[in-house]
Amino acid sequence: MANFDALMHGFAVALTVHHVTLMVLGVLLGILVGVLPGLGAPNGVTLLLPITFSMDPVSAIILLTSTYWGALFGGSTTSILFNIPGEPSSVATTFDGYPMARDGRATEALTFAFMSAGFGALLGVVVITLLSGFVTGFALRFGPAEYFSVYLLAFCSFIAFGSGPPLKTIVSIALGFSFATVGMDSVSGAMRLTFDFNDMIRGISFLVVVIGLFGIGEMLLTLEEGVSFKSADARIRPRAVLSAIARLPRYWVTMLRGSAVGIWMGITPGGPTAASFMSYGLAKRMSKRGAHFGKGEPEGVIAPETADHAAGTAAMLPMLALGIPGSATAAVMLGGLMIWGLNPGPMLFIERADFVWGMIASMYLGNVIGVILVLATVPLFAAMLSIPFTIIGPVIVTVCIVGAWTVAGAPFDLWLAVVFGLAGWAMKKLDYPIAPLILAMVIGDRAEDAFRQSMIMSHGSITVLWSKPLVGTISTLALVLLASPFIAALRRSLRAREQLPPAQE
């Protein structure tokens, strides 16, 4: 109950006109940042960081976290409307969000996305509030072997999504892995696949690839097919929003599962992007309507969105309590804490209770404000679909190019985006799935590091993945998930064989 009292005190800190104004401002800025591809939450927060140096720490953290929530919400918008993820963590939202929008259900998809995201975020904050002492210890049990097993789990839970032909899926994954290899190898310090080009030392940014494959590739495809966006429902229909909200409780299992995955990945800290992919994969596996995933299934929007936001909020806890950032954005905020003169750690909860609980209280308020603000923008964004393609097309391409520029301010990246745009078009034409490539790029890179670190630790013995109960459980779970389609197939064929002999007799 001590936590509850502290939280009430926190609300007293957060519920001032000044702080609520900052929340609204932060969320709006965040939505803008989130909508623009390439300019993600970490960039947005980084840009704002210097402004906060002259503010008091509570106001500063409220502005930054609110921007983060706004960016998380905004990232889903373009995923759904234009198949262009505004944030890496909203890539998985495109899989079902965009088909829904093409079917003229954009309003519904956006509402589902925002409401479930808000639900995930709030559940994440509730967990932080109730279990702040308990869960922080969890992050400390994570070493490289544990990280690798979590990434393996994310991979295995997503791998058999089966939307593409298996062989082409493997090609796509392999391409993703090789793109992730480019640049300096962080384990040995050697340059890989840079061909002595200075621009390649940075490696190929995953954001630029997303902008190219999804954004520009999609534009090329639309141009070729000569169709404008299927004119989605552009009229302002609050009723569609309300009816979608009314249908949301039906998906409570998906929402709880997504939140659980997200909170776990935020605390451990695997990050929101891996969380959203994992949640999507699990939902597809476990849902009765799994076969409809990828064709515009609301569950396919809800699952990654809840996980994405739950991970985003949950990641704040290990940052505050242990100085371990659970996401790229949390890492930037960690730097902010230090500059504001606050040292993360358990003492922060005691010495600066007003800061910690003011921030936690602002996470409740900020997310509620976020949901309200983005829901209010749904009709506005949905209306964008009715703008003629001749106008919106060039705008999107411009935004994509600007986005590619903001990643590192490198001209080389613009060419990369264009090349990947052509590649995205070709992949769609040849029926190669894009998602596995993205997944391999995002998780593959970190999984490789974690795997090699654990191999160095264990002197090259793979048994390190079963050396402790925690890592052993996750690794086994991953392999079971990987094998489950084969086991199911085997069981079917066995059952068929059992049934055959009596028929013959």
Partner 1 sequence: MTLNRRNVLAAGLAAPTLAMPSIVRAQAWPTRPLTVIVPWAAGGGADTVTRMIAAGIEQEIRQTVNVVNRTGGNGVVGHSAIATAAADGHTIGTGTSEFVNFRLLGQADLGANSFDLISRISLIPAGVTVKADGPWRDFAAFAAALKEGRKGQYTGSGVGTGGAWHLAAAGMTKAMGLEADRIRWIPSQGGAPALQDLVAGGVSVFTGSPVEAKALADANQVRVAAVMGSERMAAYPNAPTLKELGIDWTFENWFAFLAPRNIPAPVRARLVEALEKAHARPEVRKAMTDRGIVPIWESSEAFASFASRTSDTAGGLLRDLGLVRS
Q: What's at 87, amino acid-wise? A: E
Least distance (Å) between residue 410 CB and partner 1: 9
Contact 448, 239 (CB under 8 A): no
Least distance (Å) between residue 463 CB and partner 1: 14
Least distance (Å) between residue 88 CB and partner 1: 16
Kindly tell me the burial class for residue 318, based on how many C-beta atoms sit within 10 Å of its own C-beta (0-12, 13-18, 19 or more): buried
Least distance (Å) between residue 62 CB and partner 1: 18
Least distance (Å) between residue 457 CB and partner 1: 5
Which one, 202 or 295, has the nearer CB to partner 1?
202
Q: What's at 139, amino acid-wise? A: A
Q: Return residues touching partner 1 (CB under 8 A).
A: 46, 49-50, 53, 139-146, 183-184, 186-191, 198, 201-203, 321-325, 331-336, 338-339, 341, 343-348, 408-409, 449, 453-454, 456-457
184 - beta bridge partners?
191
Least distance (Å) between residue 199 CB and partner 1: 9
Contact 110, 305 (CB under 8 A): no
**Angle, in degrees to the nearest 10, between helices 389-408 and 411-429:** 130
Which one, 354 or 449, has the nearer CB to partner 1?
449
Which one, 159 or 324, has the nearer CB to partner 1?
324
Contact 116, 251 (CB under 8 A): yes
Which one, 76 or 273, has the nearer CB to partner 1?
273
In the DSSP assignment, the letter for residue 183 is E
The rounded distance, in Å, linking the Cα atoms of 255 and 120 is 7
Least distance (Å) between residue 3 CB and partner 1: 18
Strands 191-192 and 183-184: antiparallel
Least distance (Å) between residue 140 CB and partner 1: 4
Contact 205, 407 (CB under 8 A): yes
Q: What's at 89, amino acid-wise? A: S
User: 156 vs 145, 259, 321, 378, CA distance in Å?
Assistant: 16, 19, 31, 34
Which one, 178 or 186, has the nearer CB to partner 1?
186
If DSSP states are collapsed to H, E and C, what string results for 185-254? CCCCCCEECCCCCHHHCCCCCHHHHHHHHHHHHHHHHHHHHCCCCCCCCCCCCHHHHHHHHHHHHHHHHH
Which one, 103 or 185, has the nearer CB to partner 1?
185
In the DSSP assignment, the letter for residue 36 is S
Which one, 1 or 190, has the nearer CB to partner 1?
190
Q: What's at 359, amino acid-wise? A: M
In the DSSP assignment, the letter for residue 455 is H
Least distance (Å) between residue 24 CB and partner 1: 25
Which one, 210 or 337, has the nearer CB to partner 1?
337
Which one, 181 or 484, has the nearer CB to partner 1?
181
